[in-house]
Structure 1
């Protein structure tokens, strides 16, 4: 187990994540802020879902989730369909335009990471991915999706969701 001094140094080092998040947020298009990118990313990663599940994955209150969903729905990036199991609820689904927008976001964040980490070896990038996954798992992040391998080079579908998720508005959820 690491000592107190190492955990203190880790806490200081993690503050650098803020700079990474700000750089990633700057490459997002003006019509697709972090919350919207988070909605698209999670629907792209997990598929159709109810708004309550989306709020859980975003780790935000339903009112915040509702604003994000309204923003992407008005742009035609998602559709809200009746839930066959409960007609009062809606199922959120990515539209073809939403998939196109998500692919654009993947491209933007992948390019940023390629630019910033261009002098890193494949092994170093793979090690960072493994350690970030492990850190996220240690904190019980419900957004973590299982990866089939960590030895392959980083591709857009792996890196872009991270960018969108870390720029999401993290207003604390109220207990249900």
Structure 2
């Protein structure tokens, strides 16, 4: 197990990743927010789904999910149709305009990463990708093991210490 100081430095570095995410968000098309890009990505990856499933995948409240879905639907990126099994629910699916936007977003992200990391070796990029995937899986495992309030409390404490 790593030393406490290593976890504290990791918390600081993860907090700083917010700047990287903001820089990447700047390369998105003007009317496509990072949240919209994530909604489209999830629909592309998992296919047609109910709004409740999308909210679960996004790990956000249904009302927030509904606003994201409405925004994307108004732009013709996704379609909302009544669920044939449960008429009270809607099924969401990605439309061709959403697929095209997703391709553009992917190309822009890829270009931005290639530009910013041009002095990195292929091995370095591969290792970072591997470690970030492992980090994401560990947090998924952690959420399954730990009560949410304990994880939220620990994260808040870490961020408070690193912000000071």
The residue number in structure 1 matching 2:32 is 32
Partner deviation per Cα, 1:122-174 (whole Å, 9 max, x = no partner): 11111111100111111118xxxxxxxxxxxxxxxxxxxxxxxxxxxxxxxxx
The answer to whether residue 93 in structure 2 is matched with residue 93 in structure 1 is yes
1:6 matched to 2:36: no
1:104-134 deviation digits (Å, cap 9, x = unpaired): 1101111110111111111111111110011
Tell me the residue number matched to 1:144: none
How much does 1:84 deviate? 2.1
Give the match for residue 59 of structure 2: 59
1:103 is aligned to 2:127: no
Separation of aligned partners in 1, 2:45 and 2:120 = 27
TM-score, length of structure 2 as denominator length:
0.82
Give the structure with the higher percent helix. Answer: 2
Range that drifts further, 93-102 or 25-34 = 25-34
CA radius of gyration, larger in: 2
SS at match of 2:89: strand
Task: Identify the residue that residue 68 of structure 2 maps to in structure 1.
Answer: 68
Quick one: higher RCO (CA 8 Å, sep 6+), 1 or 2? 1
1:64-143 pair list within 5 angstroms: 64-140=64-140
TM-score (norm. length: structure 1):
0.77
CA distance in 2, matches of 1:139, 1:2: 16
Deviation at 1:16, TM superposition (A): 2.0
1:19 to partner: Cα distance? 1.1
Q: Unmatched 5+ residue regions in structure 2?
A: 142-164
The list of structure 1 runs, each at least 4 consecutive aligned residues, that deviate by more than 3 angstroms after superposition, is: none
Which residue matches 1:43? Answer: 43
